[in-house]
């Protein structure tokens, strides 16, 4: 798994998607969803900028919004497949 970047941060994951990085898969471990992306080194650089707020990361607002919605759907699918009651599911 050395070639992959893994994060549980929804905002960072949406930023990566909006920048065009490929989401390999979402994965649920216990109660946390992790997102796996290709291009580890490039994603790590974006992650550093994101976490440190050292310089702006410019993304299209509509693409960022779409990425958030896509990730939420992925989380919902994972939650639903585990039989979590809908009233407790993340929508």
Give just the sign of the alpha carbon dihedral 53, 65, 17, 10.
Answer: positive
What is the pLDDT, as a whole number, of residue 66? Answer: 97
Query: What is this structure's pTM?
Result: 0.83
17-74 pLDDT, tens digit per residue, is 999 999 999 999 888 999 999 999 999 999 999 999 988 999 999 999 999 999 999 9
Structure tokens at 55: 């310089």
Confidence category of residue 91, pLDDT binned at 50, 70, 90? very low
Structure tokens at 46: 């974006």
Query: Residues near 25 by Cβ (< 8 Å), separated by ≥ 6?
Result: 35, 36
Sole residue written with tokens 């702006």: 56
């Amino acid at each position: 798994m050395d070639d992959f970047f893994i994060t549980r941060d929804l905002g960072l994951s949406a930023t990566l998607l909006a920048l065009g990085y490929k989401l390999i898969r979402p994965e649920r471990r216990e109660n946390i969803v992790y997102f796996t992306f290709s291009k580890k080194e490039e994603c790590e650089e974006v992650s550093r900028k994101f976490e440190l707020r050292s310089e702006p990361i410019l993304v299209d607002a509509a693409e960022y919004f779409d990425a958030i919605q896509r990730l939420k759907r992925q989380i919902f699918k994972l939650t639903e497949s585990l039989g979590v009651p809908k009233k407790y599911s993340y929508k």
